[in-house]
Amino acid sequence: MSETTPQIDIVPDAATAADYAAIQLIAALHGNERPTLGLATGATMTPLYARLVAAYGKRGVSFRDATSFNLDEYVGVRPDSRGSFHAYMRAHLFDHVDLPPGRAHIPNGMAADIAAEAARYEANIKAAGGIDLQLLGIGANGHIGFNEPGSAFSSRTREIRLDDATRRANAAHFPHAAVPERAITMGIATILEARWIVLLATGAEKADAVACMMEGPLTTDCPASALRLHRNVQVICDAAAAGKLTRAMAGERKRAR
């Protein structure tokens, strides 16, 4: 697989970045008879989901015929726990749109056999025909999904130990308990099989990761650099997240709105 340069759109602020990402998700919903979406969680995604909910409320989009697969979930966290990604998705999207509950998939972090759950999840993605649009965020250490540095580009859905930095970044979601040490996540190879990938990055704390993803070496030390092996990736970031890109990206910076 040859290396490519992802399209990058640099916009002035996080609100505009969320607007741009929402446009892409809505296009995927309108452009496919039965779209399959790969969804992400986290603070970066919250304003994006608010825009999708608003569009649904204005009858600008429907999720009725869609199927979704979330990237990841913590191991050992109940779906109704405040810190779970099940709870996040219900609060920010699922409870507010017409996506059929039976077609909204999130890994089961409470499964008795996590390896079997990972294999089941991987098989379900394939049975659905693969993912049409995969939404991604990026961790400050370059992770996508919960594929931490060192994750093989050939990795599939599996259990993984979370880096300390990732656990610290997610501590606010577990005010009365320790952040889980393990999660189940789509693998990098699973992500790369999506037909279209949209990565949303905002804030100066993501600038090093964005620069490493776009301009650093192709390495498992920066899992997001694997996206350069995909031919249809759109990176949407605000000026702060693009702040450490070099002059080599000057032509791309002119796209800023």
User: Which residue of the set 9, 132, 148, 238 is catalytic?
Assistant: 148
Which residue has tokens 């296009």?
Answer: 27
Q: Active site includes 72? A: yes
User: Which residue of the set 73, 86, 92, 141 is catalytic?
Assistant: 141
User: Which residue of the set 86, 92, 143, 230 is catalytic?
Assistant: 143
Using an 8 Å Cβ cutoff, are 249 and 215 in contact?
Answer: yes
Q: Active site includes 148? A: yes
How many whole angstroms separate alpha carbon 72 and alpha carbon 89? 11
Phi-psi sector, 150: left (phi>0), alpha (psi -120 to 50), beta: left
User: Which residue of the set 72, 73, 117, 122 is catalytic?
Assistant: 72
Helix (H, G, I), strand (E, B) or coil at 79: coil
In the 8-state DSSP scheme, what is residue 128? T
Q: Where are the alpha helices (DSSP H) in the chain?
A: 14-31, 46-57, 85-92, 114-127, 164-169, 188-192, 207-215, 250-253
Q: Active site includes 122? A: no
How many whole angstroms separate alpha carbon 244 and alpha carbon 106? 34
**What tokens were used for 147?**
């594929």
Active site residues: 72, 141, 143, 148
